[in-house]
Amino acid sequence: MAHKFPEANKSFGQHFLNSPNVISKITSPLPAGVDAIVEIGPGPAVLTPHLANYKLPLYVIEMDERFVELLSPVVGRERIFRQDALLFDWKMFLDENKFKSIWLVSNLPYNVSVPLTTSFLRIPEIKHMTLMYQKEVAQKILPNDPRNAMGSLHALTLSQFELKHVVYAPPGAFVPPPKVDSQVLGFKRKDNPEVSLEEIDSFEKYLRLIFSQKRKQLGGILKSHWGQDESLRKLALAKIDPKVRAEALSYTQVLKLFRS
């Protein structure tokens, strides 16, 4: 049955998903070992009933009060958090509920998709994520062509998660149609990540430095921060040519330079 959608709130970046194929790809299969599901920005309960079918604890975070009445019969009013997902208190939520393996699902608001993603990386109980992005952003997280495509967002997410493409969503898959294509990515947290969560802030700071001008030679970028001698020493330790452009680095090289 087709959904009847309310008028989209532009301030919330709302575009309501209306493609059965994309909805199915996002909401199945259930990842193994999950003990709870959290959906961010469920809106008019498009994905929510499919997630509720798994009979696991299901919580939703939704800013728009118009959708509370639609969501309540599906998840129960006590499991609806009416607030900004960027301000959600994950520590309190996890202290109260003791979940160990959460599947996070969202048709993310495009304007806050990156800060939300980088915040999710830091929550070890979030073991799986199925998230929709503007295609341009998704390609920064998981490039189709890895050549000359290394960047801070790709390296940061890859340090914590195994990544995979799930499905593309053209503008016609939404009401109202956005002006951009969308892409859904799947994330599975690594059992032994290359960068610990205790190191994640310093790793992110390091990534911002080396990819600040990713089309320039790496030696020149680092020289302004560490000085020429120290930059060459660190690059030599990592066995990286100072003339290489940051975007041409492999993930292994990014890690080696971080360790040096």
Q: Which residue has the tokens 């053209």?
A: 170
**Lowest mean pLDDT segment, chosen from 11-15, 26-30, 232-236:** 11-15
State the pTM of this model. 0.92
Q: What is the pLDDT of residues 146-170, one digit of tens each?
A: 888 999 999 999 999 999 999 999 9
Q: Max alpha carbon distance in the chain (Å)?
A: 66
Q: Is the per-residue pLDDT at 13 higher than 60?
A: no
Query: Angle between the 251-259 and 200-210 helix axes, to the nearest 10 degrees?
Result: 110
Q: Which residues pair with 38 in a beta bridge?
A: 59, 104
The band of 14, judged by pLDDT with boundaries at 50, 70 and 90, is: low
Class of the domain covering 10-189: alpha beta
Q: Give pLDDT, residue 2.
A: 46
The band of 5, judged by pLDDT with boundaries at 50, 70 and 90, is: low
Q: What is the pLDDT of residues 115-150, one digit of tens each?
A: 999 999 999 999 999 999 999 999 999 999 888 899
Q: Residue 98: how many CB atoms within 10 A of its CB?
A: 9
Which one-letter DSSP state was computed for residue 243?
T
Q: Give pLDDT, residue 30.
A: 98
Q: Residue 61: how many CB atoms within 10 A of its CB?
A: 21
Q: Give pLDDT, residue 53.
A: 97
Q: Give pLDDT, residue 66.
A: 85
With 0-12 CB in 10 A as exposed, 13-18 as middle and 19+ as buried, what is 174? Answer: buried
Tell me the two tokens of residue 72: 């309540």
Sorted by where each begins, the domain ranges of the chain are 10-189, 212-259
Q: Give pLDDT, residue 1.
A: 40
Q: What is the pLDDT of residues 196-246, one digit of tens each?
A: 999 999 999 999 999 998 888 999 999 988 899 999 999 999 999 999 999
Q: Is the per-residue pLDDT at 8 higher than 70?
A: no
Dist CA 117 CA 52 (whole Å): 23
Q: Give pLDDT, residue 6.
A: 53
Q: Give pLDDT, residue 16.
A: 80
Q: Give pLDDT, residue 11.
A: 47
Share of the chain above pLDDT 70, in %: 95
Q: What is the pLDDT of residues 48-96, one digit of tens each?
A: 999 999 999 999 999 888 889 999 999 999 999 999 999 999 999 999 9
Q: Which residues pair with 104 in a beta bridge?
A: 38, 129
With beta carbons less than 8 A apart as the criterion, state whether 219 and 174 touch.
no
